[in-house]
């Protein structure tokens, strides 16, 4: 699809073994066309941009899957060919989602396949941000220490604790510029800018695929266990090698992989789970990564249904889930909103991609709220977890020209 008047009729999966020859500039033209209020989502499989009026998924007592299916059916009955839902779902499953079916959707190959993505983003925007941490790093560290103490008493085994940075700008936010810098810094990731309600925009670049479905093929890529990268090549390699052998991080990762395995096994006839993780890297972090693949037992289970069955994984909440949620509510002095929820798309056939909402911010007028979290286990050290969240903030801070 190449014009704004065209609606998605099929969202093909990318095949890395046969990438073809996509038109130069096809993906970056969508990135360049983004304006606040649009829905932009770039994944390793495709680039999506929705303009103009959209049909919102209502917030009522029906299950979310049912509301999404009904909204897609209404769009089809109104004459829209192969409608697609796109948007964000919050961490709290009882909070309202920000999902809609756009009337027009432009689709292009993935950003990484477009040679023009290598061109540098134009750097604009203010440099004198006012930054306020919530909570203060020392308070966050104390929360980590308290959680560790409770784990040693046997109350639970893991919790993910987050902190935020509130950035205030003397000038209106340059959302298109931020999106450009996020996308061009890591074009192989999942970059998004989506309306979040009440004039807010959810913007970010996540490394973590929660789940995708194409036909009956399912892929999940849980990440857990991480370490900050170094600008020194030798030190960077040493940190990566250390992460691969870290008992603490390997245990944390195994807990997440096991949870994803169990959730998907209920829906899959076949499932392949590698015995050991590999590494993936972003511009700021190394992560332990496991790619899980499977075949659905029934074509009736949609990508969204799979995502909801997985959410929240121990990678963003903890285990046991109910206890971890309670610890999060007691410890974090803010509402997570869409942070550690999911963003993505889905169609009436059940295909779709849903991404864990991390490395993100909520933008409104002249303010940004950045989020970062760390998985806390019994072996966690408060100073190290505080440093990890600081490293994760760098993804977004570099996109806005700010420093801690």
Q: Which positions are annotated as active-site residues?
A: 158, 208
* Closest to 313 measured CA to CA, from 265, 255, 267, 380: 255
**How far does the chain reach from its first CA to its final CA, in angstroms?**
42
Is the CA virtual torsion 261, 378, 156, 95 positive or negative?
negative
Residue 197: other Cβ atoms inside 10 A: 16
What are the C-alpha distances in Å from 154 to residues 132, 312, 328, 340? Answer: 34, 22, 17, 25
Largest CA distance in the chain: 60
Burial of 258 from C-beta contacts in 10 A (0-12 / 13-18 / 19+): middle
Considering only CA atoms, give the Rg of the chain: 20
Q: Which tokens hold the place of 67?
A: 């509301």
CA atoms within 13 A on the CB side of 342: 27
Is the CA virtual torsion 262, 289, 377, 137 positive or negative?
negative
* Closest to 224 measured CA to CA, from 340, 362, 361, 383: 340
- What length does the chain have? 404
Rounded distance, CA 369 to CA 200, Å? 11
Rounded distance, CA 249 to CA 176, Å? 36
Burial of 323 from C-beta contacts in 10 A (0-12 / 13-18 / 19+): middle
Q: Which tokens hold the place of 113?
A: 């396949």
Helix (H) or strand (E) holding 296: strand 292-296
What are the C-alpha distances in Å from 369 to residues 29, 131, 169? Answer: 28, 10, 12
């Amino acid at each position: 699809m190449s014009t704004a008047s065209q609606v998605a009729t099929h969202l093909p999966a990318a095949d890395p073994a046969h990438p073809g020859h996509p038109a130069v500039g096809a993906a970056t033209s969508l990135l360049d066309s983004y304006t606040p209020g649009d829905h932009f989502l770039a994944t390793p499989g495709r680039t999506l941009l929705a303009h103009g009026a959209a049909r919102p998924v209502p917030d009522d007592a029906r299950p979310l899957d049912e509301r999404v299916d009904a909204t897609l059916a209404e769009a089809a009955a109104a004459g829209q060919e192969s409608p697609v839902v796109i948007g964000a779902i919050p961490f709290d499953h009882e909070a309202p989602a920000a999902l809609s079916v756009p009337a027009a959707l432009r689709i292009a190959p993935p950003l990484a396949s477009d040679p023009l993505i290598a061109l540098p983003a134009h750097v604009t925007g203010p440099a004198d941000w006012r930054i306020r941490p919530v909570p203060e790093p020392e308070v966050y560290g104390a929360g980590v220490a308290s959680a560790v103490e409770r784990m040693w008493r046997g109350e639970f085994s893991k919790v993910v604790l987050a902190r935020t940075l509130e950035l205030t700008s003397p000038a209106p936010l340059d959302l298109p510029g931020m999106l450009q810098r996020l996308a061009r810094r890591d074009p192989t990731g999942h970059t998004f800018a989506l309306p979040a309600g009440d004039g807010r925009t959810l913007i970010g670049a996540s490394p973590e695929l929660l789940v995708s479905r194409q036909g009956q093929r399912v892929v999940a890529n849980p990440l857990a266990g991480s370490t900050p990268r170094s600008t020194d090549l030798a030190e960077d390699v040493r940190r990566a090698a250390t992460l691969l052998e870290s008992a603490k991080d390997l245990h944390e990762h195994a807990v997440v992989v096991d949870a994803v395995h169990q959730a998907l096994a209920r829906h899959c006839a076949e499932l392949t789970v590698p015995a050991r993780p590999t590494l993936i890297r972003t511009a700021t972090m190394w992560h332990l990564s496991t790619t899980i693949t499977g075949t659905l037992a029934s074509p009736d289970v949609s990508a969204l249904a799979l995502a909801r069955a997985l959410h929240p994984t121990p990678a963003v909440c903890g285990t046991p889930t109910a206890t971890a949620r309670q610890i999060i509510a007691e410890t974090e002095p803010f509402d997570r909103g869409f942070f550690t929820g999911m963003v993505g798309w889905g169609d009436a056939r059940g295909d779709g991609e849903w991404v864990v909402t991390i490395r993100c911010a909520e933008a409104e007028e002249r303010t940004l709220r950045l989020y970062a979290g760390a998985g806390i286990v019994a072996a966690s050290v408060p100073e190290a977890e505080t440093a990890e969240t600081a490293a994760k903030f760098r993804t977004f801070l570099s996109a806005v020209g700010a420093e801690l």
